[in-house]
Structure 1
């Protein structure tokens, strides 16, 4: 009897205690998922925190969300329209402008001058601009000059037989300077022209190239490529590399080293170097010399090491340069007509 009275008193005491609110109850009355207020009581949160959370309305959350979205949109627009400083480019420009003017030994003082002129062309920011003073011709003179230049360049051919006749070094320097007038990405001029007259070095380069070319013709390039060039009478043997009085190794600079030893990326270095090579080919033909473009496939690394060039320079082409040998023959080829290479819009 006493136990029954004790249990009844305990149940009455529990009923008088505040019970946490329940979101979902079982059929037996047990609380399965407590409500938010029940969770607050369960974790014994202070009255101040419960009061603060209870005072938060829906419009408070909406205002907070709108503020976050506004800040995000602001920074996105700022990144799109605000030009940020480019420390590397500014450093390259400052380093370029600080370079002292050095006198150089030219083969002919009447050609060019002792100052390096910055080409205000090709997106080189912060460069000093100067008035453009180009040639001015009448339309009749322009037509005449364009026709004469075409008639001259039409005679240009790839020649593989060279005369031992020597070429004055000042001519070689002038044609190299002509190649140096070519446009380049950010005007970084990412090229190096190695002019080789030493017979021992030319012999070694020929050995390197011919060794790799034998592998190219026999295994790497395949039978179709060999058949495609058969009508040009070319093979792995490259005697013109040593027969020509000069061998020009054209190298592109994949990056440049600034005065503070930081790397300056060279933009479009291969395209820029190839454009300069086109200038060089025209300059070679213009003075009555001949050449043939030679791609040293798989031999560039050995040539770079032989010439002791830095690792940022890569071999692009070899150009033997000299006078043509007497009674030289060239393949009888046909160039495409204007209708085949032009489209007017």
Structure 2
């Protein structure tokens, strides 16, 4: 007898070929409009939207179904200020001492630097953690892959709600555990400011690689 979960029929959505093409085209066209935004308005977010988007993220597949993720929603202005101070300290170290000239040149083209005002300007910041083995958590498998998939779901859900996001990865991120009172088995993965673009906000005019450069057919 198996000691795993009870088995149920696999879901069948019954989507016709024509409907499949239409649905995926509509979803793709909408998702292609998503851009990373660095200038946010302080407009409040609709009630419940973050929670529903995180439900979407938590529906992602994970190694051995351990679900090794934690999403900390930060709206308190003082906590966001502390996050910004700590992140900027790490970023100054990166820009001044750790980054290669080639890396700095690539970032300069996008107009980024050690200043991270989006961490205090956006009305919410979601801190995403990997959950490793601990007193209340089992050994996870394929942690980064699992959390990465969940973050992809989260970004898509927030975009669907009409919200702008940015994925920010200061390194190292140990300061997140102290500021957000997270246990040692949780390790910072990234920060996601969430909100509406500020008036006049701009993004770089970037072109994505054409499909034929990213797909291989065998």
* Displacement of 1:133: 2.7
Q: Which runs of 5+ in 1 are unaligned?
A: 1-89, 91-124
Q: Which runs of 5+ in 2 are unaligned?
A: none
Trace 1:153-164 onto structure 2 (pairs within 5 A). 153-164=31-42
- 2:72 maps to 1:199: no
Please name the residue that 1:312 is paired with: 185
Please name the residue that 2:170 is paired with: 296
Please name the residue that 2:27 is paired with: 149
Aligned residues: 217
Instruction: Kindly report the root-mean-square deviation, in angstroms, between the aligned alpha carbons of the 2 structures.
Output: 1.3
- Cα separation, 2, equivalents of 1:183 and 1:287: 22
* Displacement of 1:264: 2.2
Please name the residue that 1:254 is paired with: 132
Contact 2:66 2:138 in 1 (8 A): no
Trace 1:64-79 onto structure 2 (pairs within 5 A). none
- 2:92 maps to 1:214: yes
- Cα separation, 2, equivalents of 1:237 and 1:181: 34
Contact 1:256 1:266 in 2 (8 A): no
More helix by share: 1
Trace 1:1-345 onto structure 2 (pairs within 5 A). 126-258=4-136, 264-298=138-172, 300-345=173-218
* Displacement of 1:256: 4.3
- Cα separation, 2, equivalents of 1:196 and 1:214: 23
Shift >2 Å, 4+ stretches: none
- Cα separation, 2, equivalents of 1:169 and 1:242: 20
- Cα separation, 1, equivalents of 2:134 and 2:33: 38
3-state DSSP of counterpart to 2:165: coil
Larger Rg: 1
* Displacement of 1:328: 1.5
Q: What per-residue deviation string (whole Å, max 9, x for no partner) do you get for residues 89-135 of structure 1?
A: x9xxxxxxxxxxxxxxxxxxxxxxxxxxxxxxxxxx61111122332
Q: What per-residue deviation string (whole Å, max 9, x for no partner) do you get for residues 129-149 of structure 1?
A: 112233211100100111111
- Cα separation, 2, equivalents of 1:134 and 1:168: 32
- Cα separation, 2, equivalents of 1:246 and 1:292: 11
Residues 321-330 or 193-202, more deviating: 321-330
